[in-house]
Chains A and B, each alone.
Chain A
Amino acid sequence: MAGQSGSQLSLFTPDEVEFMAEDELVEIVPNLRMDSLNFICGDYGPFYPQIAIQVPLWLALALKKRGKCTIRPPQWMSIDNLTQVLEGERESHAFQSLPFHYVEISRLLFDHARDDIPEIYMARSLVEDIRDVRFHKVETNLENFTASAVTWKNMAAMEVNIIRAFSGRALQAFYRHENEQLIPDLDRTQDRQPQNLNDRPRRNLRPR
């Protein structure tokens, strides 16, 4: 089975996925007055003390580290909501709706904005529980992976990342078996491609 740690099987490393998640917007409450910041990804600001504003997660974390803001945990990270989601996750077969990058966002916030999250231990254990339940679900889903239509709604980035390479190749395999005579040499080319992707030189992202 595609293990959670099988980074060689997945397309991106968890670090890379986290990097992508840093573009998500979060709300911060700055404690300084600062003019607009103009970035390639857009303009943010101007910042006024005690007035909430949306910025990308990376900027929020950068400001937070300098003690220039507090991060307002997103709505879905409330204990209420997480409890509800966990319950739903446990009770139903489907994935509950959570932000695409919930694993990464919650991790970054738990690591860097500890003092801004009310009841952080509770929230953290709930998120971890949710993640475990969902990863387990992903794995069980993979067990009954068939060539027929596969619809998994609400999967998050990390979860997709785990099964991306596997499911792609599995589908190709199914396809190949069905149309063996039509495309005899497909497997070689198809096989090589993900291999190439996986073998590309990886740049280690600078840890935060």
Chain B
Amino acid sequence: MKIRTLKLREAHKPSAAYGAANGSSFCSILWDQQARHLVTASSSDSGISIHDALLPSTTPKILRHHRDGVTALALSPNSTCLASGSIDNSVKLYKFPGGEFETNITRFTLPIRALAFNQSGSMLAAAGDDDGIKLINTVDGSIARVLKGHKGSVTGLAFDPMGEYLASIDSMGTVLFWELQSGTILHTLKGVAPNTGLDTSLVNILSWSPDGEMLAVPGLRNDVVMYDRDTAEKVFTLRGDHLLPLCFLSWSPNGKYMATSSLDRQVLIWDVLKKQDIDRQKFEDRICCMAWKPVGNTLAVVDVSGKYGLWESVVPSSMKSPTEDIPQSSKKSNGLLLFEEEGQEPCSSGSLGDNGEDSIGESGPPSRKRIRKRSEFDEDRSTENTIDDYGLLPQRMAPKRAREQLDKGANEELRSTAISVRSKMQEAFQPGVTPVQPGKRRFLCYNMLGTITTMEYDGYSHIEIDFHDTSRGPRVPAMTDHFGFTMACLNENGSVFANPCKGDKNMSTLMYRPFSSWANNSEWYMRFEGEEVKVVALGVHWVAAITSLNYLRIFTDGGLQKHILSLDGPAVTASGSKNRLAVVTHASNCLPSNDQVLEFHVFDIRNGTRPSRGRLPLSPGSHLIWFGFSEEGLLSSYDSKGVLRVYTSQYGGSWLPLFSANKTKKSDENYWVVGLNASKLFCIVCKSPEVFPQVMPKPILTLLDLSSPLASSDLGADVLENEFILNNLHLFQIQKRIEESSSDGRDTTELDDEAFSTEAAQDRCILRLIASCCNSDKLVRATELVKLLTLEKSMKGAIKLVTALKLPNLADRFNNILEERMLNETKDMSEAAGVAVNQGSGLGRNGTSSEVSSEPSCIPSSSTTLSAPHFVKKVVNRGAQKGRSDHNQTAREVQPEAATSGGSAELRTTAAAGNQETSRTSNPFLKSSSNHEGAAKEAMCQRPPSNPFKKSVK
């Protein structure tokens, strides 16, 4: 293993004045929640240092309030309050990060050894050489409980992240599990940790895993032992290369890794799931405390001589970051997701490695369920409330109840959003909106065109409309909004706003504001009595609003009320593009598994039709977070599990998953989708835990490749397979558009060109897939792929490829396929020839449009016959009897041409040749119509032998 040296800088001088045992003292270190500050303390120094983590060279702020060495530090989860315990028997509270002394919250008769905050910060546990653990209300300093049971001095305390238990350990190595609700000992584990004796620089500690499922305790055999949360049974141990007993351990914020330090001066990093050490570092002195940086991949360490340092990139970059998936891990076990995100898994006490979370008051039902289901969450809350109501809480809690209720009020808000998102039918939302943040500007609408932002002041809001393309979009003056708009939509022509109703006075209002109009005063308002606008959408010359009465109201851009439709269910969201409006509604209540049951409807506003409707699929347990049209006009949705789906008419209309955030996700990134085109997803990348962007600084769009969630194939050519699928989809879309426009009688030349180039690209991709199939000996698959090739040239290329790869067997098969195809063509030819004879010279005169538009109808979805049109063209002009021999000639001529280039290069040349051919054949009828009219016979005679394809076209 690589040996590195970590440079440590001195924070506390080991001095003899405070009687440090043999020059070593117990030092503590911890991060604040945002990783802006590091706090260190030493048991031989009465000062607490607050270091600026960004500028380590600046002198730290030193708090000198203790009269003796500081043995324990703890930071409240929101990093506003610092607690310190000292040998001078007192526990003091400070403001953080300012460091102003607040109060002596409690006093003991003997030195303090351990401190821990619970998750809400409302309770502090303190213990030391005295025989009781004090639970202190941080609000009023009252002592809620004294937990007596340890025989030696208590050196480690940890609140369980779910708020039900407190674990403590003493210097004799005894671990106790306390139930907070009743204050009773649940389990006693005697002598499971080493006996540290009288050396105060060495303490026993313990720590809950961030998800609260396990308690990590140093074991007797230089290992870490994990105990089950409920049964206190040994789950597993982490044993490795520590030669001496452990002196500290710390979970990474996501609980995937653990850092342990030992008396042998090594620090080991463990992958907890694999139970394996992944890295180590040896230090000059024993490391007595460590803290993972709450954001980033860094471990802060401090040794017994008071020197601290930062170990950067602790976890190798190839592995998951230690801060990735924090919410995920906590989601598993408790319902307070949002709350916890707010708290951001603080390393609330470095010295204790504690991640305690809930206060007693919030600890939920007394029953000890292993995993509380989210669906039970509501119930939980009600039981909790009844607990409060019936005064089941210990009487001693009374003084702090009032304040706690306040705290809870604040949390309730967060929770209720969490619930609405989780176990209820999801609320209506506007795509591209970000939630309200007090004092900050937020997006009402963010799309590929521009943004609408709002900022709330006293009684009014300030709305700005900006276009991304400053050179083209109209300049829109900012406006003052007295309605309090919360929904908005933007397109090239105008913007629409709406507000929910707030009481009787403030009715729900819809406002449309065109950007340019020939008439003055062309903005208009609509008011809704007893009805509330839920979602708005905007298209070309229409405005749609969906209301709480499940009405879909359609207005013209002049403000005419054109249609009012009743929708099937409560609206979730809507999106408009050109003349199409897509609406998502709830089809029924949530499934017990928390799956939303959604339905979508697409309306064609101009024609007054409903082209498609159906269920809107979502990943299990997720909800819809974005909905809209791609640049090409395909309906797309994005759910909270990060799966993007696009609606196609394949299989009679179905949703294809085209992107999955899990597959591409880099560590700690969230994608906030804005739009997509045929091959890319446009999104704003937000660093976790943030899930939406801020207005300032202006977010930039990131392009991500679309990729189907392919299974890991034995081929190892994922990129090609992905390209294959996307090309197929693309081809399908083009053909559908060709059909549509040809049925409308529009010119499809451009689409044809696009189709041909896509076909060529697809052939190139297939050829490369064939190559990789051959290389990995998947010959059947290669044969299947050959059948999918469109162009004759590509087929020949494939034959040459397998010949070069020395697979004669396969080459034979390919030849057979080719011949079979040609036979089919001959049949087609004879039919087509009949047509040609009948139509005679009329063909040429009929002109481009009719001929081309008839062509797509010859392109059915099966690609075996896709190549038919080319040959049909040929045949039309040549006559049936010559067709066969001519093909042979073609084959002969092409062979030497391509045979000159060998090996893999051949691939490219054939592909290129295929491309060339398409460009040539793509507009054959232009030529035929311009060169001569109805001179089919003539064309047959002038036959430049060098290029049969070109000629065949004439």
Interface positions of A (Cβ within 8 A of B): 29, 31-33, 48-52, 67-68, 70, 72, 79-80, 83, 87, 118
Contacts and interface: CB of A to CB of B under 8 A. Distances in A.
Contact of A50 (B54, B56, B471, B701): B701
Given A50-B700, A70-B698, A31 B469 contact: yes
Contacts of A52: 700-702
Contacts of A49: 467-470
B57 A83 contact: yes
A51 B470 CA distance: 13
A68 B469 CA distance: 9
Contacts of B471: 31-33, 68
B55 interface: yes
A51 B472 contact: no
Contacts of B858: none
A138 B470 CA distance: 47
A1 B472 CA distance: 56
B703 interface: yes
A125 to B, nearest CB: 12
A70 B699 CA distance: 12
A31 B56 contact: no
A49 B468 CA distance: 5
Contacts of B468: 31, 49-50
Contacts of B698: 29, 50, 70
Given A33-B472, A49-B470, A79 B54 contact: yes
B57 A32 contact: no
Closest 7 CB pairs of A and B: A49-B468, A32-B471, A49-B469, A31-B470, A50-B468, A50-B701, A51-B701
A134 B703 CA distance: 39
B681 to A, nearest CB: 12
A32 B701 CA distance: 13
Contacts of B55: 83
Contacts of A29: 698, 700
A79 to B, nearest CB: 7
Contacts of A72: 700
Interface residues of B, number: 18
A29 B703 CA distance: 13
A31 B700 CA distance: 10
A82 to B, nearest CB: 11
Looking at chain A's contact residues, the main secondary structure is loop
Given A79-B54, A80-B54, A83-B55, A32 B470 contact: yes
Nearest to A33: B469
A83 B58 CA distance: 11
Given A50-B701, A51-B701, A87 B56 contact: yes
Contacts of A48: 701
B125 to A, nearest CB: 35
25 contacts: A29-B698, A31-B468, A31-B469, A31-B471, A32-B471, A32-B472, A33-B472, A49-B468, A49-B469, A49-B470, A50-B699, A51-B700, A51-B701, A51-B702, A52-B700, A52-B701, A52-B702, A68-B470, A68-B471, A72-B700, A80-B54, A83-B54, A83-B55, A83-B56, A87-B56
Interface in B457-473: 467-472
A72 B700 CA distance: 10
Contacts of A118: 697
Choose among A31, A52, A67 the residue with the greatest number of B CB atoms under 10 Å from its CB: A31
Contacts of B472: 32-33
Given A50-B701, A51-B701, A32 B54 contact: no
Contacts of B470: 31-32, 49, 67-68
A51 B57 CA distance: 37
Nearest to A86: B57
Contacts of B469: 31-33, 49
Contacts of B703: 51
Interface string B700-712: 1111000000000
Interface in B467-496: 467-472
B57 A87 contact: yes
Given A32-B472, A87-B57, 20 more contacts: A31-B470, A32-B470, A33-B472, A48-B701, A49-B467, A49-B468, A49-B469, A49-B470, A50-B468, A50-B698, A51-B700, A51-B701, A51-B703, A52-B700, A52-B701, A68-B470, A68-B471, A70-B698, A83-B56, A83-B57
A133 to B, nearest CB: 13
Nearest to B466: A31
B464 to A, nearest CB: 15
A28 to B, nearest CB: 10
Contacts of A68: 470-471
Contacts of A32: 469-472
A35 B470 CA distance: 15
A52 B471 CA distance: 17
Contacts of B54: 79-80, 83
Contacts of A51: 682, 700-703
A79 B58 CA distance: 14
A13 to B, nearest CB: 35
A79 B471 CA distance: 33
A112 B860 CA distance: 58
A52 B54 CA distance: 27
Interface in B9-62: 54-57
A145 B472 CA distance: 60
A80 B700 CA distance: 22
A68 B472 CA distance: 12
Nearest to B680: A51
A33 B700 CA distance: 14
A83 B53 CA distance: 11
Contacts of B700: 29, 50-52, 72
A16 B56 CA distance: 37
Contacts of A50: 468, 698-701
A80 B54 CA distance: 6
